[in-house]
Amino acid sequence: MRQQKTKPKLFTVLVLLIAGLAALGHIGATLAFTGPSTPIKTSLQPQLNKYFLGPLDQGWSLFAPGPYSQDEYFTMRACLSSAEVCAKGSSGGAEFTEWRNVTAEEMKSRAGNMFANRETKQSKSIHGRLWSAASDLSSSARKQIGNPYVLGTPVFGVDLNSAEARKKYSSSELSNLRAYKRMEDTAVGFASLYAIEQWGGASMVEIKLRREPIVPFAQRHDEKATTKSRETYIGWRDTKKFDESTVSVWS
């Protein structure tokens, strides 16, 4: 440390103090926001969320505590007939497509390609968020999502923003149902656009999320080793409608 005397300027000192404290506060808040759940973090909520959810949003538990250890697939099929005919099923003359593994199709361009574009991540990213939203549901709500909700019938049989829903569910239950519904609407919207791309459009879609765990490390040399896959099934839903500019880039 050199013993050099410098006469500090008041304005500079003020700027250094204010900006320095702001920077320290920001880094401290970042540690609290991105770190594990602690009493400090709990006491700072919901202010932390208000400050960080936006362009400062971040999370650094990269591949941790559990590393990515499964293949995740977004699969779907569509009904190409009119909604009324689709509602009657195949016996009523409805035309259904085969099941399509959207994620596997997207991944084709990623295999052996370090510089694949981000289209390859679309269905996988929806899968991750929808799966965890469905996992937060109660067992009865999880059963319900497998039912068909078509011809304008709301999922769970009730508008989740209505007074009826507030009466029917507790606030934490309703919060989980709404979070799930947002992701389901996103997934159904994505499946609707995929149907436009593949078949020129559809009136209903059905979605299955599948997870296939990676063969355990100890069995990696065993070619016959298999793992048990898990599924989250979302029953038939009406397709979402989009404006012309959206449809034009998917057509």
Partner 1 sequence: MELNEQPVESPSIRAWIAKNKSFGSDALSWIYRWFTENRNASYGLAVMRIASGLFILGWLLFNIPVAAKIWGPGSAYLEPYRSVLGYKWPLDILRDAGVGFFVFWYTVAILLAILFVAGWQTRIITPLFFIFYTAINAQNTPISDGGNYFIRIMLIYLIFADLSKRWSVDSWLRQRKGKKKREFEVVTVLHNIALCLVVAQLCLVYLEAGLYKVQGDLWQNGTAMYYPVSSEAYGIFPWLSGLITANSWIVSLITYVTVVAQIAFPFMLFHKISRRIALVMILGMHIGIAVVMGLPFFSGIMASADAVLVSSTTWIIIQKWLVARWNSISPFKKSPQPVQEPDEIADDEPEKASAIV
Distance of CA 95 to the CA centre of its chain: 29
Residue 3 vs 171, nearer CB to partner 1? 3
Note whether 193 and 250 are within 8 A (CB).
yes
- From the list 41, 121, 142, 168, which residue makes contact with partner 1 (rule: CB under 8 A)? 121
Among positions 196-225, residues that touch partner 1 (CB under 8 A) are 214-215, 217, 220-221
Binding of partner 1 by 113 (CB under 8 A): yes
- From the list 29, 30, 85, 136, which residue makes contact with partner 1 (rule: CB under 8 A)? 30
Sign of the four-CA dihedral 234, 237, 243, 247? positive
Question: Is residue 104 helix, strand or coil?
Answer: helix
Binding characters for partner 1, 124-163, by CB under 8 A (x = yes):
xxx-xx----------------------------------
The least distance separating partner 1 from the CB of residue 9, rounded to whole angstroms, comes to 7
Side by side, the strands of the sheet bearing 70-79 are 100-101, 70-79, 204-213, 230-238
The least distance separating partner 1 from the CB of residue 90, rounded to whole angstroms, comes to 27
Contact range with partner 1 by CB under 8 A, out of 25-33, 75-83, 141-149, 198-206:
25-33
- Overall size of the chain counted in residues: 251
- Check residue 15 and give left, alpha or beta (phi > 0: left; psi -120 to 50: alpha): alpha
The least distance separating partner 1 from the CB of residue 133, rounded to whole angstroms, comes to 10
- The burial class, CB within 10 Å (0-12 / 13-18 / 19+), for 46 is exposed
Among positions 51-80, residues that touch partner 1 (CB under 8 A) are 53-72
Q: How many residues bind partner 1 (CB under 8 A)?
A: 84
